Structure 1
């Protein structure tokens, strides 16, 4: 007798799951209850005697309980995906109150008295209402060289379902600046680096994007000004 599931907890990457495939099967079965909080799934083929196993492939996201084997990705695909996850900001961990270095609360980053008014402006201008029980927000400071100006990238999360996350990103001037630099761009990139949304500052106090994504999806936020480019990659 054997278990039909094996969880793999990989440091810095998260939880994956191995699913068995018997010799006569053309699909890999993934129960609905296991579709939450997984970074992906490995299909593992067993021989008739259940003494040997061979990894057939990998799949990142599933939407049905049976996935045809011809839809599996190669292990090279998994290695590229794992590399992206390892270097990304892991948003699901934010919901567990675990944050990467540099991502601070609004109160921490905007604590000096001369900046307190800006903290009130940011929180009152929420593009996604943050439920205190479920939602979370953090901000990170960036220096715009060579101008010396600083901006804060604010990221807000609001879970909508077990798999879907509402996400908002906003760019604000900090310190004594009132407006963002002219022509400063905020871009949303998909996992292939293609631009899917963008906003540009034109004598504005902030720019913002809002969207939703599903568990396991990877995206990047790019801040660009002339020859300067700053990119932060996230995984949901």
Structure 2
């Protein structure tokens, strides 16, 4: 058996009172105990990670939602900009960690939290990045230190992404001046007929098109898609710009990933249009108009991972 490096600490009275409160609201004693242990586990992991310098979003987690905690067996903790970490409770003397089917996806990892019989103390036993087991043996967990290293790695990868404050200037695109990250369509779709992407309509000047690869990173199993942005203006009215945003499959895939969600945000961050991929979507297309000085953003999410591209006219 592997010797694990663990972390032990006291459960705060505040966390215990909240867990007991939510437990009493459940329909059966069994469900009440489940919610009690899940809440204590999430609280303890949240305390530990905050002490280690990680920023969490406890109140946005499903485990902190009274409706969700009643409907499913969930013990997730949202880590800011990274995703959901599942905090599975383990009773003393148990040799396995229970992983319910409803939490086997959209997780960046699983932490085992041993709760004492008195509910006074908890111990982090270790973690795994992913698992297909419904009952994971405790001796297969990685040390707690590996969890910290993994989260730090995820944080550094997130920081390495291009800043969301870098705006692509679409007015300059019409002057054939482009940001380095935005490349000709053929750079990303070399095997696709060029005419597949053309959509020039009468009354508009020739459309300027550019593409970019959106990589969601290891949190989304290295899934990627291509984004194509087309820009044109009406003949005789260069102040009114027409913009088309398209998402295309990448890596030889025929369809877009079904968890894909794209939103157009105005300059205040309000969603003005959106679309979600279905199982057989080969493309998503959104169209909007803008004037000189306007700005907007395209937010693309894959599960719990989001990438934002900003544009200005």
TM-score by length of 2: 0.43
Q: Post-superposition shift, 1:206?
A: 1.0
SS in 1 for 2:172: helix
What 5-or-longer segments of structure 1 have no aligned partner?
1-85
Q: Post-superposition shift, 1:130?
A: 9.1
- Rounded Cα–Cα distance in structure 1 between residues aligned with 2:195 and 2:212: 15
1:1-236 matches, within 5 Å, as 87-111=166-190, 116=191, 119-120=192-193, 123-124=195-196, 126=198, 129=201, 134-146=206-218, 147-160=221-234, 161-203=237-279, 204-236=281-313
Change (3 A) 1:188 1:92: same
Equivalent pairs counted in the alignment come to 146
More strand by share: 1
More helix by share: 2
Conserved 8 A contact 1:130-1:136: no
Conserved 8 A contact 2:257-2:277: yes
Deviations 1:14-58 (A, max 9, x none): xxxxxxxxxxxxxxxxxxxxxxxxxxxxxxxxxxxxxxxxxxxxx
Deviations 1:81-112 (A, max 9, x none): xxxxx73110011111111122111112222x
- Rounded Cα–Cα distance in structure 2 between residues aligned with 1:171 and 1:213: 20
Change (3 A) 1:130 1:216: farther
- Rounded Cα–Cα distance in structure 2 between residues aligned with 1:109 and 1:165: 25
- Rounded Cα–Cα distance in structure 2 between residues aligned with 1:125 and 1:90: 21
- Rounded Cα–Cα distance in structure 2 between residues aligned with 1:182 and 1:174: 13
- Rounded Cα–Cα distance in structure 2 between residues aligned with 1:231 and 1:212: 19
What 5-or-longer segments of structure 2 have no aligned partner?
1-164
Deviations 1:163-189 (A, max 9, x none): 100110000011211111112111000
CA RMSD of aligned residues (A): 2.5
- Rounded Cα–Cα distance in structure 2 between residues aligned with 1:157 and 1:131: 14
